[in-house]
Amino acid sequence: MAELATVARPYAEALFRVAQEGDLNAWSELVSEMAQAGAHPDVIALAQNPNVSDAQMAETFTALLKSNVTAQAANFIQMLVENGRIALLPEIGAQFHALKNAREGAADAEITSAFPISDAQVADLLGTLEVS
């Protein structure tokens, strides 16, 4: 797993630098979509299929995304396809979001409870976490 993180890091950092020059939140949404699509077994299988050209793979992958794919994003996707790195997208996405959180002084949190909690309790907890 460490090797995967090491290989993904330069891609995540480069993508984050580009995103900082534009709409970081829009990029964040796009990166999340790309990470989700890149993790899908069918996408990985298609990327590994020798009968599918790089152009076909990039076009198909781009078509899977709901967000607007800018020229910069299309170039990034094309580069990943050409280098056989589509399967890195989940790790690239995780590192991208860690960089975004560090820049914003934020953190992701998951609420887990042994007992059902009400919406009011969740709202109270969220309010407490946001102040901290």
Q: What does the pLDDT profile of the chain (132 residues) look like in tens digits?
A: 569 889 999 999 999 999 999 899 999 999 999 999 999 999 999 999 999 999 999 999 999 999 889 999 999 999 999 999 999 999 999 999 999 988 888 777 777 888 898 989 888 888 887 765
Buried (b) or exposed (e) across 65-96, using 16+ Cβ within 10 A?
A: beeebeeebeebbbebbeeebbbbbbbbbbbb
Locus of tokens 């964040």: 28
Q: Do 59 and 5 contact (CB within 8 A), yes or no?
A: no
Scanning the chain, the segments in alpha helix (DSSP H) are 2-20, 24-39, 41-48, 54-64, 71-82, 89-104, 119-131
Query: What's this model's pTM, rounded to 2 decimal places?
Result: 0.81
